[in-house]
Amino acid sequence: MRKLTALGIAAAFLVAAMLVGAFVGAADLNPLATAAALLDKIPFVSLPSSLSPLDKAVLFQIRLPRVVLAAMVGGLLALAGAGYQGVFRNPLVDSGMLGASAGAGLGATIMIVYFGGAGPSAIPVAAFVGSLAGVVVSYTTGVAASRHTVLTDGVATLLLAGIAVGSFLTAVQTVVLQHSASDIQTVYSWLLGSLSAATWQQVISILPYAAVSSAIILVHGRQLDVLAVGDEEARSLGTHPALVRGLVIAASALAAASAVAVSGLIGFVGIIIPHVARRLAGPSYTSVLPLSLIGGAGFLVLADTVARTVLSPAELPIGVVTAVVGAPAFVWVLHATQEART
Amino acid sequence: MWRTVAVVTAAFAAAALAACSSSSSSSSTTTATSSAPATSATAAVSPSSGAAAAFPVTLNASNGNVTIRSKPARIVSLSPTSTEDLFAVGAGSQVVAVDADSNYPKGAPVTGLSGLTPNIEAIAKYNPSLVVAYQNVGGLVSGMTKLGIPVLIEPAVSTIDGVYAQIEQIGQATGHTAQADAVVASMKQQIATTVSQAGTASRGDTYYWELSANPYYSVTSATFIGQIVGLFGLKNIADAASKPSDGGYPELSEEYIVTAKPQIIFLADNEAADGGQTVAIVDKRPGWSGIPAVKDGEVIPLNDDIASRWGPRLPQLVAEIAAAVKNAPKG
């Protein structure tokens, strides 16, 4: 019952966030006319709107794809974070760990510095590939460094390997960046994260990855709960710990990579949202996972609305917004975790 | 978490630096469509009457071919240099909004718009018929294209001819071809006069161009600025310290600057907003008192805005350099 209530709250939050996102923006569109234009899009509803053709283009081609993309990215990041936290039995793991963020940053930097002529559409592909490559390298390093296999008992080793690989990739990225002073601004604005170039094309291009990875993570909620009591017990209950870990890590990496590809690096969503979900509905992953997906979506829509309005008519990188909210929240998570242990 | 904090800090530093050192090469060759009667002879007689016939015009800008259907009545400029260009060619009355950094000329309609982090919706609010910017970031071109608004990207130039080409392109884009030609001709003439009056007595003198202090970023002879100073035959101390990877904007060590003994120091970072490195501060830097430029009072504070733009006020920068050269030690 508590789970259903929490899911209802999260869904209401997401709908409210998306409405705010659709109605608020630098262009100051008339709210009534905007509402009419939006309702007009619903099948069998026909409403005249007083929005000019330019205003309509702003609403449907600039603002709405951005709101939808923010929802997808936020949901994926939070879900990936929750998935990792289940696998590693540690609530402080983020979606960018295991070399995912560093790999994406390196991929995007290489593309910008060495293949600048390939155009902006090539950067998401490079970030996507870099993010997955970062996870693969971290994973193989972790396996090589651990006497046990990572899939049985080496979760700590895997996390540490991810930190080492991440630092190394960031160092390489810095060296690459030194090769081209004129690209520094482009690279850093990508690293800080932004949804300002959102298009329906981007929404469609990450949709298949988002759907597949989300489905895989969501169906493993029960197994993650079982893993929490220990591998021996899990095996006796008929779960294959190695298989579950492998699948959830792979799906989380895919979810984070598709989010990072279109948004750049956005931190903290993967930590804060699952934690809030735990507070709302308890520690079971059967509720933490869906709550993270919906709550993360709503949170990032609001964060992006702040990013595009607070400094209007300029823009604030969304990574700055999530960090400003996220850093204090992270301290709160630490504090709450301490309390839970004592 | 700490990486994010570090990145935020670094980004602001990098953005400030990139603002004065971005050196993307421009391909500002201007081509009018064959239907445009762009001969300066006819247009010079009647500066504005030919404008109607000059549209539609297709221009080859750095963001590809840009077609402007009719004389743009509502222009938004996100580039301080382009704002100066627009007003210089006589398109000022068509400009409805300029970005927060466009502080010249005085009458320009300054807004909070940003060329560094453009907000598509905020620009669209001005219902522009043409947007001019110096870089395509944040999906500016693709966003404006979705709204059917043409965008001209006029990036930092690498040659003096690039300055002229941009002014002429902006003239064509706004229906002021003849006045743009006149502006360019006048700039060329002023610069030629200034350089010839400076004479050749100081040729071979060495100079150091300071973009920023701590770290000390400079420019080489290969850059746009380097070419301008090169008109006077001065030698650049940064050339020997430059690597291919720095793109003409090397970071110099303080020891190198002092031991290179420049005879003239140009400060492009002397105004408060750009670092506040005044002549008095440079004179008091430890170890700098032995530099000939410091001893001879040849530390020259420049107008930072003019020195970091590539627009119609270029002759003023040339004149500032000429005044420094005039007082420099001869031979």
Main-chain phi, psi angles of B57, to 5 degrees: -130, 140
Amino acid B103: pLDDT: 94
Residue B126: band (very low, low, confident or very high) from pLDDT cuts 50, 70, 90: very high
For residue B193, tell me if it sits in a domain: no
- Mean pLDDT in residue range B189-207: 91
More reliable by pLDDT, A118 or A5: A5
Q: Is the pLDDT of residue B38 over 50?
A: no
Residue A42: band (very low, low, confident or very high) from pLDDT cuts 50, 70, 90: confident
Amino acid A84: pLDDT: 92
For residue B304, tell me if it sits in a domain: yes
Q: Please tell me which of the candidates A62, A63, A323 has its beta carbon nearest to residue B8.
A: A323
More reliable by pLDDT, B130 or B117: B130
Amino acid B39: pLDDT: 37
Give the distance from residue A43's alpha carbon to the nearest chain B alpha carbon, in angstroms. Answer: 24
Regarding whether B241 and B181 lie in a shared domain, the answer is no
Asked if the Cβ–Cβ distance from A182 to B22 is below 8 Å, we say yes
Regarding whether B216 and B156 lie in a shared domain, the answer is no
- Mean pLDDT in residue range A230-239: 83
Q: Is the pLDDT of residue A112 over 50?
A: yes
For residue B3, tell me if it sits in a domain: no
Regarding whether B252 and B213 lie in a shared domain, the answer is yes
User: Domain A2-341's class?
Assistant: mainly alpha
Q: Is the pLDDT of residue A300 over 90?
A: yes
More reliable by pLDDT, B187 or B44: B187
For residue B43, tell me if it sits in a domain: yes
CATH of residue B176: 3.40.50.1980
Asked if the Cβ–Cβ distance from A323 to B123 is below 8 Å, we say no
More reliable by pLDDT, A244 or B19: A244
Q: Please tell me which of the candidates A192, A314, A317 has its beta carbon nearest to residue B112.
A: A314
Of A87-91, B191-195, B249-253, give the lowest mean pLDDT range. A87-91
Burial of B32 (0-12, 13-18, 19+ CB in 10 A): middle
More reliable by pLDDT, A239 or B285: B285
Which amino acid type is present at position A307? A
Give the distance from residue A13's alpha carbon to the nearest chain B alpha carbon, in angstroms. Answer: 25
pTM of the predicted protein model: 0.77
Regarding whether B179 and B211 lie in a shared domain, the answer is no
Regarding whether B217 and B164 lie in a shared domain, the answer is no
Give the distance from residue A177's alpha carbon to the nearest chain B alpha carbon, in angstroms. Answer: 10
Q: Is the pLDDT of residue B169 over 70?
A: yes
For residue B278, tell me if it sits in a domain: yes
Amino acid B44: pLDDT: 37
Regarding whether B162 and B100 lie in a shared domain, the answer is yes
Amino acid B124: pLDDT: 93
For residue B134, tell me if it sits in a domain: yes
Q: Is B299 helix (H, G, I), strand (E, B) or coil?
A: strand
Q: Which of A189, A268, A269, A272 to mutate to test the interface with B (most CBs of B within 10 A)?
A: A189
SS (H, E, C) B203-265: CCCEEEEECECCCEECCCCCCHHHHHHHCCCCEECCHHHCCHHHCCCCEECHHHHHHHCCCEE
Q: Is the pLDDT of residue A237 over 90?
A: no
Regarding whether B156 and B25 lie in a shared domain, the answer is yes
Amino acid A338: pLDDT: 67
- Mean pLDDT in residue range A242-258: 91
Q: Which two tokens stand for residue B200?
A: 């050749």
Write out the H or E segment, with its range, that includes residue B73: none
Regarding whether B314 and B211 lie in a shared domain, the answer is yes
Asked if the Cβ–Cβ distance from A181 to B249 is below 8 Å, we say yes
Amino acid A78: pLDDT: 96
Q: Please tell me which of the candidates B121, B127, B249 has its beta carbon nearest to residue A63.
A: B121
For residue B5, tell me if it sits in a domain: no
Q: Is the pLDDT of residue B21 over 90?
A: no
More reliable by pLDDT, B222 or A197: B222
Q: Which of A145-149, B75-79, B253-257, B303-307 has the highest mean pLDDT?
A: B75-79
Which chain A residue shows the shortest CA-CA distance from B25? A182
Instruction: Break chain A into its structural domains and give their ranges.
Output: 2-341
ipTM summary value: 0.71
User: What share of chain B has pLDDT > 90, as a percent?
Assistant: 66
Regarding whether B268 and B150 lie in a shared domain, the answer is no
Asked if the Cβ–Cβ distance from A186 to B137 is below 8 Å, we say yes
- Mean pLDDT in residue range A264-293: 91
- Mean pLDDT in residue range A266-292: 91
Total domains in the fold of chain B: 2
Give the distance from residue A307's alpha carbon to the nearest chain B alpha carbon, in angstroms. Answer: 10
Give me the domain span that covers residue B281.
199-327
Regarding whether B69 and B28 lie in a shared domain, the answer is yes
For residue B136, tell me if it sits in a domain: yes
